[in-house]
Structure 1
Amino acid sequence: MIDSKQASEALAEIDDIVQRVRQSRIYDLASLMMILWGGLVFAANVATYLWPRQGYYIWFAVYVFGIAGSFAVSASNRARTGVRTFDIRAFIAFLLLVAFGYFCGLVLGHFTPRQQGAFWTIYFMLFYALAGLWFGNAFVAIGLGITALTLIGYFYIGEAFPLWMAFVNGGGLILGGLWMRRS
């Protein structure tokens, strides 16, 4: 028989384990998504550097393949774990995020391609950092790190900015995803 203090300690320990498992599940799915999007972003930045006039089509293709890939990763994760990971609210939030970004970049901002590259990266990394406030410090570190490197590249890297972004944004997402798999 246990007393109330021991019961409280046991419940606190169970709660701690639940929180760690929850964070592990979030990190597992997020890491797969980050690796997927990191590879696509890396390829798109290299392609944009090589064929700058085709940038719009390249990035449109990345969004189509990225969203389709995200659905595939989510479905695969559900088949593997039995846990439903697709949330229509999260998908709508993503669409609203992209719509607002397009509004700012195309309607309000009239950004150059270089400014677009910096804007979209910093914009998405803001949400990584914000997500980290709820889901773990790895998101904050990834968001702030990629943002800082993007700003360095924007101000100090010349014509090779898309290549810089391939490694900073695409490579950063891939490395961040691999790091999260270890956490």
Structure 2
Amino acid sequence: MTSVSKHEAQAALSDIDSVTRRGMALRSYRHAGPILMLWGVIWGLGYLGMARLAPEYWGWMWGGLDVVGVGGTLLLSSRLKPADGVLPGQTWRTSLGMAACVAFILAIVAVFPKTELLPYIALPGLFVGFLYTVMGVVMAAWRYALIGAVVFVAALLGYYAWPQYLAEWLALVGGGGLFLSGLWLRSA
């Protein structure tokens, strides 16, 4: 009978941990894909609305779209079961996290002066890009980090390169990018 050394046992446990984390990340990607696709459509519609509507209608438009997005996210999340790798209460934690993000963006809008609209158009892209990047790094879910970095850089690029078309740019690269990213995650 061959005995296993302490080093071999640690290496085997490390491999098991690595495979487990990878499996969790892949399940997370598959579950997040449809939600990201939903938000891609919402972003596309919202930013196209910003390009076409007067600023006094933006809050109402985004409010309605956010209600649809949160409702859709809850519906999609509620279909997940613990057997899918979803932790108990994850749907509500996700919803509370989304609500906190929306509240954070609304607080920024509320306290900063409204002298120029362009920064407010770029803010969600910058914030969501940053959030996904951090989430991807913390969770070692590199697809999230890549999606976040692309959205963040695209928002900055549009802000500086094509400020007069920023809303349309973010509808295309933000909304379209989130939708395509959702397809990519779903296929993981």
Structure 1 counterpart of 2:26 = 24
Pairwise CA distance, 1:112: 3.6
Q: Structure 2: where are the runs of 5+ without partners?
A: none
Once the two structures are superposed, the pairs formed by residues 50-129 of structure 1 within 5 Å of their partners are: 50-53=52-55, 54-78=57-81, 81=84, 83=86, 84=88, 86-110=90-114, 112-129=116-133
Does the CA contact (< 8 Å) of 2:70 and 2:95 recur in 1?
A: no
Residue identity matched to 1:130: V
Alignment CA distance shift 1:167-1:64 (3 Å):
same
Alignment CA distance shift 1:17-1:59 (3 Å):
same
Pairwise CA distance, 1:52: 3.2
Answer with 164-173 or 16-25: which moved more: 16-25
Structure 2 counterpart of 1:171 = 176
Does the CA contact (< 8 Å) of 2:78 and 2:91 recur in 1?
A: no
Answer with 62-71 or 21-30: which moved more: 21-30
Cα distance between partner residues in 2 of 1:123 and 1:109: 18
Alignment CA distance shift 1:182-1:28 (3 Å):
same
Residue identity matched to 1:139: Y
Structure 2 counterpart of 1:133 = 137
Q: Structure 1: where are the runs of 5+ without partners?
A: none
Residue identity matched to 1:72: L
Alignment CA distance shift 1:8-1:158 (3 Å):
closer
Pairwise CA distance, 1:82: 7.5
Pairwise CA distance, 1:88: 3.4
Cα distance between partner residues in 1 of 2:104 and 2:85: 33
Question: CA RMSD of the aligned region, Å?
Answer: 2.4
Cα distance between partner residues in 1 of 2:39 and 2:83: 21
Cα distance between partner residues in 2 of 1:11 and 1:79: 24
Pairwise CA distance, 1:98: 2.0
Alignment CA distance shift 1:148-1:9 (3 Å):
closer
Post-superposition CA distance 1:16-73 (Å, at most 9, x none): 3211211111111222211110111111212222223432221111110000000011
Post-superposition CA distance 1:105-164 (Å, at most 9, x none): 221343643321101210121111110112211112111111111111112214322111
* Pairs aligned (count): 183
Answer with 117-126 or 97-106: which moved more: 97-106
Does the CA contact (< 8 Å) of 2:27 and 2:85 recur in 1?
A: no
Does the CA contact (< 8 Å) of 1:128 and 1:140 recur in 2?
A: yes
Question: Does the residue aligned with 2:112 lie in a helix, a strand or coil?
Answer: helix
Pairwise CA distance, 1:7: 5.0
Pairwise CA distance, 1:173: 0.8
Task: Provide the TM-score with structure 2 as the length reference.
Answer: 0.83
